[in-house]
Chain A
């Protein structure tokens, strides 16, 4: 009960950022898709001339959702950073941590409520818009051939990248060490995980990369939060 109460409070605080991210993704991510729809009606594939050699890379083509994907990745990372700052950095600036950790709830409950609210805000807001954009792109007759299902899952890895950045920024916020020493390592590790995920060719390896990042960062966030003084 206390968990849900705390989670609701956290969600309420995350709401403006969620709305901003949804609108940004709809506008900035929808625009390249709309542009592509217009262009597709006039688009002609480049014709190779008879008797010529074709280089294999000329046969490799970008997905119609490539532009939208880049916006999704950027929005996801930005939202992850914004949520972590709102949830884990702002209480230091406003000196409200003691009010939270000295409530009649365990410290770990407060932490999990924060993390659950942040994760849900990130996954549901961006996930819903991404699903809508993908389904729109898959409408019969809009693109020939329609985007592959793999592209849909790759979009979820972009959102998961935002989650990793969120956890990395949260760890940086909670860390007690100095900025010029190892404090920034949480975000640096998150960046490394995001890059590792994006350079994978197999979705299973990308999943493993995200999973390792989430486990490592979560364990350290828990350890730091439970053991530190506010």
Chain B
């Protein structure tokens, strides 16, 4: 009895929770299935959006703007795509007055333009996801030290302590007549303290933000650039050292960009590289300062850009003679409240591109340590591109998607309005189920809240019609109706799954009544009793003081 009593209060709510969760997934699956079927049925492979009208403005807008080391701007327009690769693409080079300077294959281009630092792939999430349990265990970050013939050492990252442990790779190989020596002992540790033989001396490298790896020209072993929240280390496993390249102190590093740091060839330089670049790391910190770390010769510099510049709108490069900064801007920016890359940001951006707008590019040199001196500027007008503004209203797929989203819970709408941006940001950082939940909520959120509420009201009415003859208490009924209103179809199905009882017609008032209660909810009459037969063992079921029943 005790178990029965307790289980009612614990298992009841949990049963509602699991049923609702399953039905929310089921509804989301049906919505996705219907919209995908609609997509497959309405997809036309040959269909392309009408191309916007092409003219000089369109060509200028779609030309790459490149700088010569003296500050001259060239507009490079690629008219067609070559399967043979970038070098065989046809190019037209114009000056800023729209005069054609040169035309031909890219590999024959007579100009050498400045090449810029670029972002490295943000792989933090991917490296973090390597820790996911999955069906084949989590994976490990391991760096090998190789000679020209074999792997000599293996360094494994210990996420918990924030350091690398090195192992020798000599192994016990037993052949028919000879035994190779065994030497798999730990070599030591590489951490923020550099190489140490004892674990007691290590200092954590810090949580990884991004990782860049390359193999120096004179080696077979990767060297890595380890970027944490406020520090950048360069770790060379072959030489067993960890060099602190940059320390932002209490400031947070927003991103790092590299240019020829990894000893790789610069892009965009042209067929004959004559510009002598200096290896460069550009660390942008949270207060908008660019910390430049350069080599050949070693130099550190901090450049501050105007506060109204977008943080991703500029790039830096350093040659033996000068340090250049390129800035690209537009005449409008999305509101500060919209997070970059979020759905709202994309929506704003699509609307912006659908109208004509101004853009410009500027070239600066960094002089006297950190002052910016403008060398050149070019402005152009980007023509309107209305076809990318919104999906077409007549699109069957989007119409069906809108229709199916009307059965989504209004709760999604509330959650998305209040937490949408944060949920999106958390989802991008995290993995697995949070990402799936965010995807379901963002894809199923109804665009028209009024229609969604109407559908939800219809579900409440259906629930009410079902509940009226079966109700056992008024409070319970009201709570279930609120529940259905909140979760729409999934709520109604949950209610039906957990509350369905058979009904009979009341012999007194003639209306339907559920069998959960002994008395009729409308007239109060008790449930009819079966006619007594001569074989009945219980003859009289009336209570003391009650009139005996026939």
Contact = CB atoms under 8 A, between A and B. Distances in A.
Interface in A39-73: 40-41, 44-45, 47-63, 65-67, 69-70, 73
Contacts of B144: 45
B156 interface: yes
Nearest to A41: B173
Given A65-B137, A202-B131, 13 more contacts: A44-B150, A48-B220, A53-B262, A56-B213, A61-B139, A63-B136, A141-B184, A145-B154, A145-B165, A150-B138, A201-B128, A201-B129, A227-B7
A70 B133 CA distance: 11
B497 A181 contact: yes
Interface stretch (A20-28, A83-91, A216-224): A216-224
B315 to A, nearest CB: 19
A65 B431 CA distance: 23
Contacts of B138: 63, 150-151, 154, 201
Contacts of A188: 22, 25
Interface stretch (B10-18, B111-119, B472-480): B10-18
Interface of B is mostly: mixed
B265 to A, nearest CB: 9
Interface stretch (A3-11, A97-105, A121-129, A189-197): A189-197
Contacts of A206: 133
B110 interface: no
B4 A154 contact: no
19 contacts: A45-B146, A51-B264, A53-B214, A53-B262, A56-B121, A59-B222, A60-B127, A60-B141, A63-B137, A141-B184, A144-B169, A151-B138, A182-B19, A185-B22, A195-B433, A196-B433, A216-B14, A219-B14, A222-B3
A70 B184 contact: no
Interface of B: 3-4, 7-8, 10-12, 14-15, 17-19, 21-22, 25, 121, 123, 126-144, 146, 150-151, 154, 156, 165, 167-169, 171-173, 182, 184, 211-222, 224, 262-264, 431-433, 497-498
A176 interface: no
Interface-central residue, A53, A155, A177, A188, by most chain B CB under 10 Å: A53
A201 B523 CA distance: 60
Interface in A97-115: 108
Interface of A is mostly: helix
A59 B140 CA distance: 8
A223 B121 CA distance: 52
Contact of B215 (A50, A56, A157, A201): A50
A47 B21 contact: no
Nearest to B155: A145
Contacts of B219: 50
Given A60-B139, A63-B139, A50 B264 contact: no
A189 B4 contact: no
A198 B141 contact: no
A52 B431 contact: no
Given A56-B213, A60-B130, A189 B18 contact: yes
Contact of A222 (B7, B25, B131, B168): B7
Contact of A54 (B126, B150, B222): B222
Nearest to A194: B135
Contacts of A141: 171-172, 182, 184
A140 interface: yes
Nearest to B213: A54
Contacts of A148: 140
B216 A50 contact: yes
B215 A49 contact: yes
Contacts of B10: 219, 223
B7 A226 contact: yes
A119 B477 CA distance: 40
A201 B220 contact: no
Given A61-B139, A65-B137, A216-B18, A227 B215 contact: no
A49 B141 CA distance: 19
B7 A144 contact: no
Contact of B11 (A47, A51, A223): A223
B214 A52 contact: yes
A151 B167 contact: no
Given A62-B139, A201-B431, A45 B151 contact: yes
A1 interface: no
A216 to B, nearest CB: 5
Interface in A199-227: 199-202, 206, 215-216, 219-220, 222-224, 226-227
